[in-house]
Amino acid sequence: MAATSSKTSATKKTSASRKTTATTKKATTAKTTAASAKKTTSATKSSELTVTGNKKIETLRKEFNRKFPYLRLGIFYSYARQQVAKGESITPIDGSKTLASVRRADSGGTISISGNKKIKSLEKEFDTVFGLYCQVCYTDSTGSRYYTSGSADEMTLSAFNEYCEKRGCKKDVWK
């Protein structure tokens, strides 16, 4: 009887040990999955471009072009919108200035730029948050420069960047 009792006891211990090992593996897998999810979330957050008033315009343009290599970001004083409507040419704001130094006095805040943001939403946010006229631009394969308009303004930044790539637009032209 003592031998049978020892075998039963050993079987119970082995079974308990297997359950503990299985539980530990599940916990480790859950921790690894949670860590991966955090990394993915962090990567997603880091892929967003945050725009605040203390950012220099030139830095913003470079960062935007790094994220969307076939696009450019044109930033102008708000009165430029009327000049464009009249068919006049406009000049972008000096890149060495910060957004805070050129924005409308009663404005300020933060804009987050990600690939899933529509072009028209980004341009409107610049107007609302900083009181500045903003245009997403591109350079075609011949070197001609354009602002987005019409149906292009309905596209997301990532989708339009891909569209420009497929059409042979110039890459890394941020000025």
Neighbouring C-alpha atoms within 13 Å toward the C-beta of 151? 1
Per domain, the residue ranges of the chain are 1-46, 49-166
pLDDT tens-place string over residues 102-126 = 998 788 899 999 999 999 999 999 9
pLDDT for 42: 36
d(CA 44, CA 36): 12
d(CA 55, CA 110): 10
Q: Which of 20-29, 59-68, 78-87 has the lowest mean pLDDT?
A: 20-29
3-state secondary structure of 70: coil
d(CA 6, CA 46): 59
| Residue 89, both tokens | 């040419």
d(CA 120, CA 124): 6
* Position 155 pLDDT exceeds 90: yes
pLDDT band at 136 (very low <50, low <70, confident <90, very high): very high
Asked whether 69 and 24 are in contact (CB, 8 A), the reply is no
* Sheet with 72-77, edge to edge strand ranges: 72-77, 132-139, 145-147
What does the pLDDT average to over 133-156? Answer: 94
